[in-house]
C-alpha cells in the first residue's frame, strides 16, 4: 500500500509506541487522525508529524474507555476525515504488579476498561466503515504477555490474552472482505509503560530495563508500517518480537 494521503487513525498517540507509529506514518505522507487523553503531548506529536511530512493531522482528545465518546468521535468526524484506511488500535496500559489476591481492583478496572473494552469500542466504531468501503487494515497492539503469563501480572496478561483472542476472532469475522487484521505483540519496550505501571515510581520503573537492551518504540512502529504496506492480498496475522535479551516473558538475560 502506498500510504501517501491515506487516513491512519492511531489511538494512544501522545507517547510511546503510539507516538512513534504516528511519526512513522507521517514520514510516508499519510493523513493522521491522532487520539489520546493528553492533548498537550498530542499537540507536540502532531507538530512533529507535520514536520516529517504528514499530509495533514487531525487531533482528538479521547478516552477510549467511554463507548459514547468513541462512537461520537467517529460519527462526528469531518467528511474529509471519515474514510479511515488504517486503524492502529494502540491505546493501552498496565497498572500495578501485585499478586492477584492483593491487587488493587481500581487498577484491574482501568486495565480492563482500556485494554479490552476500549479496544472493542474503537474497533466497533471504525471497522463497519471499512467493510462498507471494502478496504482497510486493523492493527491491534498486543503483547508477548498475552501468550505467557508472568508472576504478579495476571490481570494485565489476561487483558492482552483477550486482545489476542479478539484480534483472531475479528480476522475470522472479516473473512470474505478485503479488510486485513494484524496483531503486533512486543516484549519489553522502553517507554513510559513501566512508569505508568508503577504509578510514577521512576526508580522502580527503571529496574525493569536494567542490564538489558530493550526494544524501542520505533522498533514497533517499523513493524506496524511493514505489516500495513504489504501487497493487498497479504495479511500478516501476527508478529511477535523482542530484544535479543528476552526469550519470552519469563526468560530475560541481564548483564551484571
DSSP one-letter string for the chain: ---TT-EEEEESTTSHHHHHHHHHHHTTT-EEEEEES-HHHHHHHHHHHHHHT-SEEEEEE--TT-HHHHHHHHHTS-GGG----EEEE----------GGG--HHHHHHHIIIIIIIHHHHHHHHHHHHHHHT--EEEEE--GGGTS--TT-HHHHHHHHHHHHHHHHHHHHTBTBS-EEEEEEES-B-SSHHHHHTTT-HHHHHHTTTTS--B-HHHHHHHHHHHHTS-TT----EEEE--TTBSSSS-B----
Active site residue 156: yes
CA-to-CA distance for 205 and 105, rounded, in angstroms? 21
Which of 68, 150, 156, 209 does the annotation list as catalytic?
A: 156
Please list the active-site residues.
Answer: 156
Amino acid at each position: 500500500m502506498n500510504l501517501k494521503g491515506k487516513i491512519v487513525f492511531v489511538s494512544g498517540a501522545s507517547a510511546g509506541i503510539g507516538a512513534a507509529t504516528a511519526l512513522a506514518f507521517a514520514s510516508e505522507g499519510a493523513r493522521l487522525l491522532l487520539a489520546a487523553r493528553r492533548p498537550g503531548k498530542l499537540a507536540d506529536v502532531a507538530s512533529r508529524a507535520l514536520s516529517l511530512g504528514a499530509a495533514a493531522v487531525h487531533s482528538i482528545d479521547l478516552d477510549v474507555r467511554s463507548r459514547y465518546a468513541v462512537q461520537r468521535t467517529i460519527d462526528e468526524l469531518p467528511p474529509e476525515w471519515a474514510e479511515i484506511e488504517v486503524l492502529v488500535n494502540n491505546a493501552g496500559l498496565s497498572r500495578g504488579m501485585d499478586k492477584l489476591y492483593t491487587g488493587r481492583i481500581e487498577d484491574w478496572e482501568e486495565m480492563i476498561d482500556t485494554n479490552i473494552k476500549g479496544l472493542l469500542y474503537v474497533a466497533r466504531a471504525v471497522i463497519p466503515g471499512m467493510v462498507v468501503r471494502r478496504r482497510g487494515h486493523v492493527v491491534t497492539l498486543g503483547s508477548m504477555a498475552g501468550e505467557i503469563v508472568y508472576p504478579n501480572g495476571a490481570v494485565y496478561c489476561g487483558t492482552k490474552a483477550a486482545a489476542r483472542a479478539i484480534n483472531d476472532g475479528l480476522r475470522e469475522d472479516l473473512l470474505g472482505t478485503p479488510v486485513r487484521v494484524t496483531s503486533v505483540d512486543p516484549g519489553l519496550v522502553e517507554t513510559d509503560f513501566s512508569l505508568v505501571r508503577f504509578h510514577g515510581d521512576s526508580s522502580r520503573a527503571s529496574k525493569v530495563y536494567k542490564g538489558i537492551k530493550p526494544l524501542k518504540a520505533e522498533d514497533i512502529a517499523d513493524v506496524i508500517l511493514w505489516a500495513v504496506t504489504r501487497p493487498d492480498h497479504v495479511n500478516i496475522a501476527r508478529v511477535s518480537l523482542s530484544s535479543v535479551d528476552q526469550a519470552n516473558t519469563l526468560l530475560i538475560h541481564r548483564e551484571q
